[in-house]
Chains A and B, each alone.
Chain A
Amino acid sequence: AQSVTQLGSHVSVSEGALVLLRCNYSSSVPPYLFWYVQYPNQGLQLLLKYTTGATLVKGINGFEAEFKKSETSFHLTKPSAHMSDAAEYFCAVKQYGDKIIFGKGTRLHILP
């Protein structure tokens, strides 16, 4: 069965500092992996996705993530945090068919 674990329900970083949000997954076959962002009272916006090919994936708003099969990880990073990055971030995995399994989310706080 697929599952997603996001380490840390809350992460705080200073403005301009590196953002690192951790995600580990379990899947019996090569998965599709996603990162979504959710602002308060809004739906989800796709930041980036990994399907096949290059393991370093670049997304919107300066975010990127690296698929590491040996570590079953798909951590999200951004070199320099901006105040507008404060939001809830969800890692997700899709194996077969339609169903996407979401992690529990990590709330990112940006400190001035």
Chain B
Amino acid sequence: GAVVSQHPSWVICKSGTSVKIECRSLDFQATTMFWYRQFPKQSLMLMATSNEGSKATYEQGVEKDKFLINHASLTLSTLTVTSAHPEDSSFYICSARSDRSSNQPQHFGDGTRLSIL
């Protein structure tokens, strides 16, 4: 149980385009989802936290107009990287939790590798 699916797993696109990444909880309802960014050989950095039906809470230094997060349903959250540039190339990972209690574990997706040319 507790499977989180991310799509696509790999995407390459031209500079200036927008890219949407989907994060789905397959067998549970995810009231809270998290988006992380991981640079090569580095740790995960939390970008934002989103509760279903609410606006996402962004971490300091993360541009909310560049990284648009939508969590419109209990099983789907999307991250859209707008007007992507090479410096946005990274590994993006989502996680999901079954309720708003922070004591519940986060279940991670397999990540999306984004390469901007």
A residues near B, CB below 8 A?
Answer: 9, 36, 41-46, 49, 51, 90, 94, 96-100, 102-105
Contacts and interface: CB of A to CB of B under 8 A. Distances in A.
Contacts of B34: 98
A100 B93 contact: no
B105 A46 contact: yes
Interface stretch (B14-22, B42-50, B68-76, B81-89): B42-50
Interface residues of B, number: 25
Contacts, number: 48
A99 B43 contact: no
Q: Which 5 A-B pairs have the closest CB atoms?
A: A43-B108, A102-B43, A44-B108, A43-B110, A42-B110
Interface of B: 4, 6, 9, 32, 34, 41-46, 49, 91, 93, 95, 102-103, 105-111, 113
B76 to A, nearest CB: 17
Contacts of A43: 4, 6, 93, 95, 108-111
A107 to B, nearest CB: 8
Given A90-B44, A104-B42, 13 more contacts: A41-B110, A42-B110, A42-B111, A43-B93, A43-B95, A49-B105, A51-B103, A90-B43, A94-B102, A97-B102, A98-B32, A104-B43, A105-B42
Contacts of A36: 108
Contacts of B42: 104-105
Nearest to B111: A43
Nearest to B2: A46
A12 B43 CA distance: 20
A99 B34 CA distance: 9
A105 B105 contact: no
Which among A9, A46, A96, A97 has the greatest number of chain B C-beta atoms within 10 A?
A: A46
